[in-house]
Amino acid sequence: MDGLDLIKTFREVAFRRSFSRAAISLGMSKATVSRYVAELEDRSGVRLLNRSTRSLSLTDAGQVLLDRSTELVAMAENTLNDLQAHGAHPRGRLRMSAPHGLIAGWLSDVIADFIKRYPDVYVSLVFTNSAIDLIEEGIDIHLTGGRIDDMNLIVRRLVQFEMVVCASPSYWAQRGMPQVPEDLSRHDVLSYSAAPTTHLRFEAGGEGYEVPVHSRMEANDAVALIELALRGAGVAYVPEPLAQSHLERGALVPVLRDHMPHDHWLYAAYSQRRHNSAAMRAMLDFLEQSVASNGGGLPVLPPAVPVAPLTCALSRPSGIARASASVGRSAS
């Protein structure tokens, strides 16, 4: 077995802290992954992993190999990508990461169409709502709605989307609807913050500002917050496309429309150190074409769990606007 393949298998086990999870990620059997790591240990003459029935950890030698092999693996993959880029047909493995909520509709359509058109490309998709190191995790394209400050990344703006403050009709009927953002201080907010108190962003006169609110609970997934808001647990501040189907049928009611910021984007980011393969370029084009075919907007996602709308005077608000969007490119 080629030494580079052994090292790549070891790195996957080290990142996953599990032979089973590494096997799933690599599309191999657990026995094969274990055999590759054992062969690497035999060749190097040192133990790389501490194994027990309940845990797996790196030895000192394993940590050294993990640290020093990062550049080696990146160089090898970039070289292979360069060779593949000379071909007209995309091929090879394309590793992507994206927020959990995108798989509910739009991204599933993109991936399904992409792998049908390019059968020689193997797509590996990782879902995360956290910041990640693209080089360390071996990610080719990272989709995120959050701000990207890493100057080593090239960033493409895919689509602009609106945020929405919303809650169920029963919640507003019980607690009252806020007229200005500061009124949210007396409400239970479902937020992304890990702290009991957080801040939400709003605009007034074109200037952005933050309002401190009480966080009733926190989660790292907007879809989870929407599901809790549907059940009257509190007020959600989430991307509007994720909640649009619930807004349209009155299961969630929006407030503070005139105070929402307009600078939220879905980005596609990739590292300057990972050369553009034909597969990566094809996927980036696919993403942009999908947004353009939807009129420049992020498609509305279907509700994850059917929840019957609650009936009260607020259950059918008028004039609910769809999320606005535009397509553009930028590099930073």
pLDDT tens digits, one per residue of 151-170? 778 888 888 888 899 999 99
Which residues are CB-neighbours of 39 under 8 A, at least 6 positions away?
Answer: 1, 6
Angle of helix 30-44 versus helix 19-26 axis, rounded to 10: 110
Instruction: Identify the pLDDT of residue 317.
Output: 34
Give the pLDDT of residue 82: 65
pLDDT at 301 over 60: no
| Torsion of the alpha carbons at 83, 85, 88 and 89, rounded to the nearest 10 | 90
Of 203 and 324, the one with more pLDDT: 203
Q: What confidence tier does 304 reach under pLDDT thresholds 50, 70, 90?
A: very low
| Tens digit of each residue's pLDDT (9 = 90 or more) over 215-229 | 888 887 888 899 999
Contacts of 267 (CB under 8 A, 6+ apart): 143, 144, 145, 148, 155, 156, 157, 158
In this predicted structure, which of 62-76, 175-189, 236-250, 297-311 has the lowest mean pLDDT?
A: 297-311
SS3 sequence, the chain?
CCHHHHHHHHHHHHHHCCHHHHHHHHCCCHHHHHHHHHHHHHHHCCCCEEECCCCEEECHHHHHHHHHHHHHHHHHHHHHHHHHHCCCCCCEEEEEEECHHHHHCHHHHHHHHHHHHCCCEEEEEEECCCCCCHHHHCCCEEEECCCCCCCCEEEEEEEEECEEEEECHHHHHHHCCCCCHHHHHHCCEEECCCCCEEEEEEEECCEEEEEEEEEEEECCCHHHHHHHHHCCCCEEEEEHHHHHHHHHCCCCEEECHHHCCCCEEEEEEEECCCCCCHHHHHHHHHHHHHHHHCCCCCCCCCCCCCCCCCCCCCCCCCCCCCCCCCCCCCCC
pLDDT band at 329 (very low <50, low <70, confident <90, very high): very low
Q: Cα dist. 180→62, 174, 319, 326 in Å?
A: 56, 18, 19, 27
Residue 252 confidence (pLDDT): 97
Rounded to whole angstroms, what are the CA distances from 306 to 227, 231, 289, 303? 10, 12, 30, 6
Distance CA 255, CA 44 (A): 62
The pLDDT tens digits of the residues spanning 9-28 come to 999 999 888 999 889 888 88
Chain center to CA of 135: 16
Asked if 250 contacts 170 with a C-beta cutoff of 8 angstroms, the reply is no
CA 264 to chain centroid, in Å, comes to 14
- Token code pair at residue 239: 């991307």
